[in-house]
Amino acid sequence: MLKIQSNLKAVIIDDQEDIRSINRTLLSQNFPDIEVVGEADGVESGIELLTETQPDLVLLDIEIKGGTGFNILQKIRPYNFMVIFITAFDEFAIKAIKFSAIDYILKPINETEFCAAVESAINTYERNKVAMQVQNLLDHVEDKGKNRKIVLRTMESIFLVDLHDILYCESDNSYTTFYLCNGKAILISKGIKEYEQMLSQYRFFRPHQRYLVNLHQIERIDKVDGGAIILKNGVSVPISHRRKQALMDILKE
């Protein structure tokens, strides 16, 4: 469901002229209601462009002249626009972007992925939630605080969740449900494997194909009937035979 007006203003901030041209062409061909009102190639020119044009959509490269796209976001307030990052593969940057549920496109740009990212940004845009997403992104980039948070985005809303408040995740094909300590369940239209990759360094473990567990929330390990993890809220999560030793090794650490 579209949450904003149909005639949108967009800007493109990238230090490669050919990439800006591709972005402009793809927008024109696939989203005729989106008007590109300006382009920039660096931090200072990008800040000036955003201030002057007040766009609805920003296509933002990470590595640009004078710094990064993150530097622009650090200096611009308020965030009255959608942002889609366009970047060559950068594991650290992409992880921070994923934790904030912000759309991104990898170079070289694929038209299908480009259109999917733009449609996703438009369809799930909530103006009053953008600041929360961007601040979480910057906290990851600047490595602020020990209490890491993740943004969970559904078709209805956006949630900012402390990792310590996640009990476990359960997979249902291409969907993942997050179960929180407060009893809330949040259904996300992404597979559990992506979250396993994101959360493994924060002591989340996948003891079974269907489950991803926060090890901080374990009450005990039940060894009967093949083994199960008993969480602090009493929920029992099965342990597959082939993953049991890996779990034991992690818990010994």
Tens of pLDDT, residues 89-116: 778 889 999 999 999 999 999 999 999 9
- Tell me: pLDDT of 146 over 80: no
* Residues of the chain above pLDDT 90, percent: 77
Q: Which of 107, 20, 110 is nearest to 58 (CA)?
A: 20
What is the pLDDT confidence band of residue 1, given thresholds at 50, 70 and 90?
very low
Where residue 235 falls (left for φ over 0; alpha for ψ -120 to 50; beta otherwise) is: beta
d(CA 134, CA 200): 23
pLDDT at 77: 87
Q: What is the mean pLDDT of residues 149-169?
A: 94
What is the spatial distance between Cα 212 and Cα 73, in angstroms, rounded to a whole number?
33
**Domain coordinates in residue numbering, the chain:** 8-141, 156-252
**Cα torsion angle, 3, 23, 100, 236, sign:** positive
Mean pLDDT over each residue of the chain, to the nearest integer: 91
229 pLDDT higher than 80: yes
At residue 144 the predicted structure's pLDDT band, cuts being 50, 70 and 90, is: low
CATH code at 156-252: 2.40.50.1020
Measured CA distances, 129 to 96, 117, 210, 230 (Å): 17, 18, 30, 35
From the list 98, 137, 151, 101, the residue with the least C-alpha distance to 121 is 101
**Mind listing the pLDDT tens digit for each residue in 4-26?**
456 899 999 999 999 999 999 99
Say whether domain 8-141 belongs to CATH 3.40.50.2300: yes
